[in-house]
């Protein structure tokens, strides 16, 4: 063996031992690339060994080359397993840092619920549907013509002041009542008509029983011989279904320009009477306005205050609870309060 080859073998053994210790000694994954490069990089110890090859006689070169390659393979294996060891340690550390404790209580996901107004609205529509009324709808942005004029409330009519109106540009307004849907429906179809029209209405109005936005359900039944007795029958059946037979209800004479005669209905809340609806026999002028002949057909209309009906059902003293979305209030309905 040439002296050079013997020297190479000594060098190889030294690098091998050095690499063993170095690979073993790396404690952090981040330090591994630099340590590895000290042996296997372009300027590393093993690459430097290649210069030995140049100094060897030609017949010794294959053997020396094989020795260096064997060293290179061994050192690569060394660093690969160091890499695997450090990867495993890092994973272990990450897992134990975020260890799952199965005894901890689960995170509670907030569960939504039907809003009390929606719950009552759904029930009312269902109930009136069973009494034979078909569901329809009208726009929230209305014209003065539909909200007032065609309902027998011309501009000069003092009754317009009864409902404080939010006016928009161009003769438009936020509807103050669902009654314009009566007119729209009758213009669209010939009698008989038997519809309900739920929706939001808007008035410049606010206290414990008045909200600036609230819900009404309009009802309309027109046929050849629909009478005030039918009106009373439908409303009584409806209120009984809603509140039970023993709830006290009273009909009072009232006034609306679009009905004659007119009534209002109050429900006893346990401590006071609460007005829940207006109703009456549709005024002949309204029938003429939509092209119906008041000598041929007649009928009744009503407008229910949905938010008030909800207040009574749930024993609320202030309508604003329904609109504030305070979770201490809304959470109480999660289980579907009846």
| By the rule CB under 6 A, 280 interacts with ligand FA5 | yes
| By the rule CB under 6 A, 136 interacts with ligand FA5 | no
Structure tokens at 98: 């975020």
From 279, 287, 290, 310, residue interacting with ligand FA5 (rule: CB under 6 A): 279
For 11, 41, 250, the CA distances from 48, given in Å and listed in that order, are: 11, 10, 107
For 64, 68, 111, the CA distances from 59, given in Å and listed in that order, are: 10, 16, 83
Which range touches ligand FA5 (CB under 6 A), out of 96-104, 239-247, 288-296, 298-306? 298-306
What binding mask, one character per residue, do residues 243-272 give for ligand FA5 by CB under 6 A, x or -?
Answer: -------------x--x--x----------
Q: Which helix (H) or strand (E) holds 198?
A: strand 193-202
What binding mask, one character per residue, do residues 159-178 give for ligand FA5 by CB under 6 A, x or -?
Answer: ----x-------------x-
Q: Is 285 exposed, middle or buried (0-12, 13-18, 19+ CB in 10 A)?
A: middle
| By the rule CB under 6 A, 147 interacts with ligand FA5 | no
Alpha carbon 61 to chain centroid, angstroms:
78
Residue with tokens 């410049």: 204
Which residues are within 8 A (CB) of 268 and not within 5 positions of it... i.e. 6 or more apart? 247, 248, 249, 250, 274
Which residues are within 8 A (CB) of 276 and not within 5 positions of it... i.e. 6 or more apart? 265, 266, 267, 304, 305, 308, 309, 312
CA distance 91 to 259: 79
From 302, 312, 321, 322, residue interacting with ligand FA5 (rule: CB under 6 A): 302
CA distance 314 to 277: 18
- DSSP secondary structure, 120-178, as one string: HHHHHHHHHHHTTPEE----SEEEHHHHTGGGT--TT-GGGGGS---B-STTEEE-SSS
What binding mask, one character per residue, do residues 111-130 give for ligand FA5 by CB under 6 A, x or -?
Answer: --------------------
Task: Pick the closer one to ligand FA5 by CB: 292 or 302.
Answer: 302
From 116, 191, 198, 305, residue interacting with ligand FA5 (rule: CB under 6 A): 305
* Cβ at position 216, least distance to ligand FA5 in Å: 5
What binding mask, one character per residue, do residues 312-331 give for ligand FA5 by CB under 6 A, x or -?
Answer: -------x------------
Residue 191 and residue 130 in contact, taking contact as beta carbons nearer than 8 Å: no
* Cβ at position 273, least distance to ligand FA5 in Å: 12
Size of the site for ligand FA5 (CB under 6 A): 25
Task: Pick the closer one to ligand FA5 by CB: 31 or 324.
Answer: 324
Check residue 216 and report its DSSP letter: E
Closest residue to bound ligand FA5 by CB? 305
Which range touches ligand FA5 (CB under 6 A), out of 15-23, 54-62, 203-211, 329-337? 203-211
* Cβ at position 274, least distance to ligand FA5 in Å: 8
Task: Pick the closer one to ligand FA5 by CB: 179 or 289.
Answer: 179
* Cβ at position 162, least distance to ligand FA5 in Å: 7
What binding mask, one character per residue, do residues 207-236 give for ligand FA5 by CB under 6 A, x or -?
Answer: ---xx--x-x--------------------
Residue 45 and residue 35 in contact, taking contact as beta carbons nearer than 8 Å: no
Which range touches ligand FA5 (CB under 6 A), out of 43-51, 80-88, 205-213, 239-247? 205-213
Binding site for ligand FA5 (CB under 6 A): 163, 177, 179, 203, 205, 210-211, 214, 216, 256, 259, 262, 275-280, 301-303, 305, 307-308, 319
């Amino acid at each position: 063996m040439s002296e050079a080859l013997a020297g190479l073998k000594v060098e190889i053994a030294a690098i091998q031992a050095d690499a063993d210790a170095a690979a073993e000694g790396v404690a952090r994954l981040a330090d591994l690339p630099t340590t590895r490069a000290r042996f296997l990089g372009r300027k590393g110890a093993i690459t430097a060994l290649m210069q030995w090859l140049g100094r060897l006689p030609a017949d010794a070169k294959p053997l020396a080359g094989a020795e260096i390659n064997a060293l290179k393979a061994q050192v690569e294996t060394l660093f690969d397993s160091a890499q695997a060891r450090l990867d495993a340690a890092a994973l272990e550390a990450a897992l134990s840092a975020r260890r799952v404790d199965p005894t901890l209580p689960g995170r509670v996901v907030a569960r939504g619920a039907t809003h009390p107004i929606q719950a009552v609205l759904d029930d009312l529509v269902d109930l009136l549907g069973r009494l034979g009324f078909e569901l329809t709808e009208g726009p929230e942005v209305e014209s003065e013509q539909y909200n007032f004029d065609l309902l027998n409330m011309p501009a000069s009519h003092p009754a317009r002041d009864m409902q404080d109106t939010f006016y928009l540009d161009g003769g438009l307004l936020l509807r103050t009542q669902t009654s314009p849907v009566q007119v729209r429906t009758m213009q669209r179809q010939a009698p008989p008509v038997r519809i309900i029209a739920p929706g939001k209405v808007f008035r410049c109005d606010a206290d414990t029983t008045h909200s600036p936005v609230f819900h009404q359900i309009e009802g309309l039944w027109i046929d050849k011989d629909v009478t005030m007795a039918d009106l009373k029958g439908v409303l009584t059946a409806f209120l009984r279904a809603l509140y039970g037979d023993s709830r006290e209800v009273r009909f009072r004479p009232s006034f609306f320009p679009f009905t004659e005669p007119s009534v209002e209905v109050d429900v006893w809340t346990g401590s006071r009477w609460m007005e829940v609806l207006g109703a009456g026999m549709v005024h002949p002028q309204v029938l003429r306005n939509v092209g119906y002949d008041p000598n041929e057909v007649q009928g009744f209309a009503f407008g229910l205050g949905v938010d008030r009906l909800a207040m009574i059902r749930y024993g609320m003293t202030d309508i604003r609870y329904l609109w504030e979305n305070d979770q201490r209030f809304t959470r109480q309905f999660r289980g579907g309060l009846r």
